[in-house]
Amino acid sequence: MANYIIALFLGVGFGFSLNKAGLTKYYKIVNVFRFTDMAVLKFMMTALAVSMTGLYIFRGLGWINFPSVPPTYIVGNLVGGLIFGVGMALTGF
């Protein structure tokens, strides 16, 4: 139960940050593929850098164990990514 309450609060933070980064807007998403507005990439890479650094520090301190890492399946990941890009550039989601 407590886990679900945590999920709800984290979700609110997640949605809030997406909204404030402007990722809920069509033009923000599609313009990253046109190289005219790189906000999506700046947002994603900053999030990656922050959480990556934190995770490895926390693991070093022994506070966490990594959750199961998404499995590598080269064809699946790549083909999935290719189809995903089409949908993303079309709809701007």
Contacts with another protein in 6-65 (CB under 8 A)? 6-22, 24-27, 30-34, 39-40, 42-52, 54-55, 58, 63-65
- Tokens matching residue 39: 């906000």
Which CB atom, from 42 or from 60, has the smaller least distance to another protein?
42
Residue 24 CB, nearest approach to another protein (Å): 6
Kindly determine how many residues on this chain lie close enough to bind another protein according to the rule CB under 8 A. 73
Q: How far is CA 41 from CA 31, 62, 70, 88, in A?
A: 11, 31, 21, 14
Are 29 and 88 within 8 A, CB to CB?
yes
Which amino acid does the sequence have at 24? T
Residue 60 CB, nearest approach to another protein (Å): 14
